[in-house]
Amino acid sequence: MTRALNPRDFLGSSDEVARMLIGCVLLIDGVGGRIVETEAYDREDPASHSFSGPTPRNQAMFGPPGRAYVYRSYGIHWCLNFVCREEGHGAGVLIRAIEPQHGVQTMRERRGLDDLRLLCSGPGRVGQALGVTRELNGCRLDQAPFEVLAADDVRQVLTGPRIGISKGVETHWRFAEAGSRFLSRPMR
C-alpha cells in the first residue's frame, strides 16, 4: 500500500522536503510517475523567486504548505513547485524530472515525442507532459487532480548545485535519484 502525502509532510525545510520527495509518485489526473529530481528554494536564498518577498506571481509560495506553486518560465514553459515549510515563509521545491510510469501515451501526445527518456526530464517538460497550467497554482496536492504518493522503496539520493541560476550557486540544493536515466542532466 502506498500512502498519499498530506500537508503535514510538507512542513519541513525545503531541502528536507526536496530530498524526501525523491522516489515519491506524482500524478495529475492519473498521469505522471516517480519523482527523480528536485530542487529546493527558500526565502533566505538569493536564487529563489521568494527572496524579495511576496509579489503577485509568487504569492502561492507564501501560502499554505502542501500546495502547488506554478510559474511561467522564459515565457514558454509551466513549471511546478511544491510549497513547504510554514505558511508565509516562501519556501518551495521545484519538480525537475519524473520517471514516466502512468499515462505514458497521454504524455507522448502532449510532448509530441516517443522517447520515454525525453518525456519528463526537465521542469518545463514535466509541466507539458503532466498538463500543468496556471489553473493549478495554489491547488492542494492531496486533492484532485493531484496525487502525491510516498516513496515505497528507498534509493540513494545525490546532491549538487542547482541548474540555471546565477545567485546562490554555492547552495547545493539539487537532489536526484542515483543512477536514474530520467534526470534533466547527469548529476556529477
- Which is nearer to DNA, 104 or 113 (by Cβ)? 113
Report which of 132, 130, 98, 102 is spatially closest to residue 117, judged by C-alpha positions: 98
* 165 contacts DNA (rule: CB under 7 A): yes
- Which is nearer to DNA, 120 or 149 (by Cβ)? 120
Interface stretch with DNA, choices 16-24, 51-59, 99-107, 145-153 (CB under 7 A): 51-59
Interface stretch with DNA, choices 1-9, 24-32, 123-131, 174-182 (CB under 7 A): 123-131
Could you write out the three-class secondary structure of 22-52? CCCEEEECCEEEEEEEEEEECCCCCCCCCCC
Residues 92, 138 contacting (CB under 8 angstroms): no
* 73 contacts DNA (rule: CB under 7 A): yes
Report which of 116, 115, 109, 149 is spatially closest to residue 3, judged by C-alpha positions: 149
What would the x/- binding string for DNA be over residues 81 to 120, using CB under 7 A? x----------x-x----------------x-x----x--
In which residue are the cell numbers 515565457 written?
75
In which residue are the cell numbers 522536503 written?
17
Residues in contact with DNA by CB under 7 A are: 39, 41, 47-50, 52, 55-58, 61, 69, 71-77, 79, 81, 92, 94, 111, 113, 118, 122-126, 162-166, 184
